[in-house]
Amino acid sequence: MGWFEKKAVKAEIPPTKALWAVCPKCKSHMAKKKWKDNNSICPKCNYHGRLSARERIRQIADEGSFEEMFREISYSDHLDFHDATGDYKSKVEATIAKTGETESIVMGRATIGGHKVMLGVMDFSFMGGSLGTGTGERIAKACETALAEKRALVIFSASGGARMHEGILSLMQMAKTSAAIGKLKDAGLAYISVLTDPTTGGVSASFAMLGDINITEPKALIGFAGRRVIENTIHQKLPDDFQSAEYLEKHGFIDKIVERKDMKAFIAKMLGYFTANN
């Protein structure tokens, strides 16, 4: 007779990812609940983690003020693009099903501290927050609405750059969004740009850097080409903090680094300043 007659049952242990959050910067482990309760901010190094567009809107817009617009404007697949991993249409449709969003930016009317704005928030979980034709069209439409209704424009960027599945049509959005924002400036309307982690590629090279004031969160990655590409091109070692929010502020590319907990109040203050001076 064996020592144990009862059949062993595998212990139900939750997977590691269900229990722990890992800070992308300092690699510290913490309970996922602690990470969420702290607004996705690392308590050890103060890295500000990524938020979804909806989470960001809840934090920034006055309660109940956000009215979503342009949801019907989505991607285009004029190139019928395919690569070794599959076709573009299938990938983006899967992303829509997973995220519940129809483009990489959520756009609408809102108030921030009582100030009327057009608010746009990019979502990195939607194909890396890439700039596609739908993204550019939503921003252009938002600028038109802002002009008609005399609203300021506030955009939170989070992007890996242009959506190359759409080819040159994606790159055209850099000029399109820049021109639309130029019309706002000609009309004396404010544009506040918030660059969050990460803001890179064609987005950083276009509308993200065109704000009347450009602000960012601590330790955000901001740049155009990647570190390895630059180092291999110039054959030099870059500083460790290169392309960080702190590095860009030090060199005059960013006006202000703002903590997440202070972001809404700071934007409201800036909107009040622009309103008083227009």
Give tens-digit pLDDT for 176-217: 999 999 999 999 999 999 999 999 999 999 999 999 999 999
Domains of the chain: 14-47 (no CATH), 50-276 (3.90.226.10)
Give the mean model confidence (pLDDT) for residues 71-89: 94
**Checking DSSP bridges between strand 152-159 and strand 20-22, what pairing results, if any?**
unpaired
* Average pLDDT over all residues of the chain: 92
Residue 258, CB-side half-sphere exposure with 13 Å CA sphere: 24
Please, which pLDDT band fits residue 16 given cuts at 50, 70 and 90? low
Tens digit of each residue's pLDDT (9 = 90 or more) over 136-151: 999 999 999 999 999 9
DSSP sequence for 26-46:
T--EEEHHHHHHTTTB-TTT-
Residue whose token pair is 């969004």: 177
Predicted local confidence at residue 99, as pLDDT: 96
Q: Which residues pair with 111 in a beta bridge?
A: 116
Q: What is the pLDDT of residue 277?
A: 61
Q: What pLDDT score was predicted for residue 20?
A: 85
Helices 263-276 and 53-60: angle between axes, nearest 10 degrees: 60
Percent residues over pLDDT 70 in the chain: 92
Predicted structure pTM score: 0.90
Per residue in 102-126, pLDDT tens? 999 999 999 999 999 999 999 999 9
The CA distance from 189 to 237, in Å, is: 41
Average pLDDT over every residue of 152-160:
97
Number of residues written out for the chain: 278
Q: Which of 198, 196, 260, 265 minimizes the C-alpha distance to 39?
A: 260
pLDDT tens-digit map of 268-278: 999 999 886 65
pLDDT of residue 45 exceeding 60, the answer is yes
